[in-house]
Structure 1
């Protein structure tokens, strides 16, 4: 019998963080049990954190298992051509009750050489922001490595960094090498390469429950940093029932669908698509079957699914490679 493929959802992988809170439960209905949950990994193939399907006939199987059985149907030829049978992206929701560390990520070349990993190009979509919350992205001015170290060693690195007020709907594209931090009071969706390599350069001098400071990666960061300012904030115009482009990069393309009542979705290339619901609720109608989703849901559309109907009022991020 021919396999019937369908939209896949996964059990969230929840991560406690020193800076985390409870909004992933109160705002996104994630099943958190601690007061310091910072991340919900929605779809992951990071070793040790492999997502497990929680719906349909594949329920209980992890994403790597179903890809090994049906690589073309799940990933699509366009993804396989570039990334083999590896799922190339990692999807998260983050809740920053406190400021995250000031950090950056290495590029592919450096990450491969040092960690046998992909680099970490990423993007943010702000879902909720408390009053006076902010995001830190990039340098205010170009500096030399020695100037950067002077700021860092004198505890003045924040003076060198560009702060943006955070507002719902803001989009930021964070290229490798860009110094950045998510500020307290922000919930966001994050799309990134499959990588968990972070170089932490400053952590606000805070300590954990045992009184220990977190490890910094000052030396590793030096040849990974982009010492020039970058314009990381993405301007866009939302349009009802249209797929509006937000980010195009070598690793992923992200569009926004502002769903108002009805949208006919059609596959754009021979590759998987992921939908992240950042607001509202909707129905997905495939071959007469109706599936219900809401804010905080992340759905993997296998590459072999050509199209379906969306109904409802919701904001969706539409991601492919």
Structure 2
């Protein structure tokens, strides 16, 4: 019954959004300030709609209700949530300085919501574009609070210059912001919980100051410097003419990039996979049926499919729920990389 599933995007209007989702990803955006395209979502604030095949018109939640084990590889009960939320983000203007909670805090204070760890793949960036990634070294809670109160928060924030192809890991507790002139793909836990700690003193689309969450932010920010602030370099493995680059692998998701050249044989092994086409075009071949994709498309390979093939000339961001040792570390070791190289160049946590 199941097959490679393509989804209609769910667009979100944001004060900082622009038109790059149309200009770079061929999307028919509905707003002048389109900030987000929720590509694969099953959340109260956005539920993807299938655009192809027998399930066309069904929401992801409806598909899960009827085919959860076949779709994701395990049975989802009424209390469980689909684990991932996949987006494209266009930051014409800078986003708020923000932080996300871990699961335990979110469960307690956000009505059972999940925490939010995420990672970004930069698709396009204006020359000199920057992100805020963590705090400067040795910034304490007291330092941060004082800078916030005095209007000097930028002095304690760590900025990183980025360009197309860069990857940034954003664990829960990590202060961050996308600054202006950046288009990116975001892989994250299935959560819409964001604590804004600072918003550049601007008003929202409704003309009012946007809500801040300073107290909760101070509760969850990592002031111990546990997380790397660097761009993730990743490690690649060749597969014929194609290359798979491993960037992030944690208990919530992986982030990999496939440079597809020609044909690449894949197998689900009772896992579901989500792909975002970020350049070029190609097709998925399953059960002798071809499913075309192009830049801007996102699609899901259900866990029950088994063997399938990717074919074309394209770049794809790939995510799934990894067995870190089996799916990432062992594969990289078998390709000749040492544990030290893997630890330094892939964000495994």
Aligned length: 315
Q: Does the alignment pair 1:98 with 2:93?
A: yes
CA distances 1:238-283 after superposition (whole Å, capped 9, x unpaired)? 455133321111101222211112211122x422110111111111
Q: CA RMSD in A?
A: 1.7
Contact kept? 1:75, 1:85, Cα under 8 Å: no
Structure 2 counterpart of 1:163 = 159
> Which has the higher mean CA deviation after the structures are superposed, 215-224 or 240-249?
240-249
Unpaired runs of 5+ residues, structure 2, are 322-349
Structure 2 counterpart of 1:108 = 103
Mapped partners of 2:251, 2:303: distance in 1: 19
Structure 2 counterpart of 1:254 = 255
Question: Within 5 A, what are the aligned runs for 1:145-294?
Answer: 145-229=141-225, 230-232=227-229, 233-238=231-236, 239=238, 240-267=241-268, 269-294=269-294
Contact kept? 1:284, 1:290, Cα under 8 Å: yes
Contact kept? 1:245, 1:256, Cα under 8 Å: yes
Structure 2 counterpart of 1:141 = 137
Alpha-carbon deviation of 1:83?
10
Contact kept? 2:266, 2:307, Cα under 8 Å: yes
Contact kept? 1:74, 1:304, Cα under 8 Å: yes
Mapped partners of 1:81, 1:29: distance in 2: 34
Q: Structure 1 pair 135/82, CA: closer, same or farther in 2 (3 Å)?
A: farther
Alpha-carbon deviation of 1:82?
11
> Which has the higher mean CA deviation after the structures are superposed, 117-126 or 63-72?
63-72
Report the 3-state secondary structure (helix = DSSP H, G, I; strand = E; otherwise coil) of the residue aligned with 1:152. Answer: helix
Alpha-carbon deviation of 1:29?
1.4
Report the 3-state secondary structure (helix = DSSP H, G, I; strand = E; otherwise coil) of the residue aligned with 2:313. Answer: strand
> Which has the higher mean CA deviation after the structures are superposed, 114-123 or 204-213?
204-213
Structure 1 counterpart of 2:115 = 119
Structure 1 counterpart of 2:346 = none
- Which of 8, 11, 23 lines up with 1:11 in the alignment? 8
Q: Does the alignment pair 1:21 with 2:6?
A: no
Alpha-carbon deviation of 1:210?
4.8
> Which has the higher mean CA deviation after the structures are superposed, 224-233 or 29-38?
224-233
Mapped partners of 2:285, 2:39: distance in 1: 22
Structure 1 counterpart of 2:55 = 58
Contact kept? 2:11, 2:30, Cα under 8 Å: no
Contact kept? 2:69, 2:76, Cα under 8 Å: no
Mapped partners of 2:71, 2:138: distance in 1: 44
Q: Structure 1 pair 83/128, CA: closer, same or farther in 2 (3 Å)?
A: farther
Contact kept? 1:179, 1:225, Cα under 8 Å: yes
Q: Structure 1 pair 83/161, CA: closer, same or farther in 2 (3 Å)?
A: farther
Alpha-carbon deviation of 1:316?
1.1
CA distances 1:12-62 after superposition (whole Å, capped 9, x unpaired)? 110000000001111111111221000000111111411111110001111
Contact kept? 1:141, 1:228, Cα under 8 Å: no
Alpha-carbon deviation of 1:207?
1.7
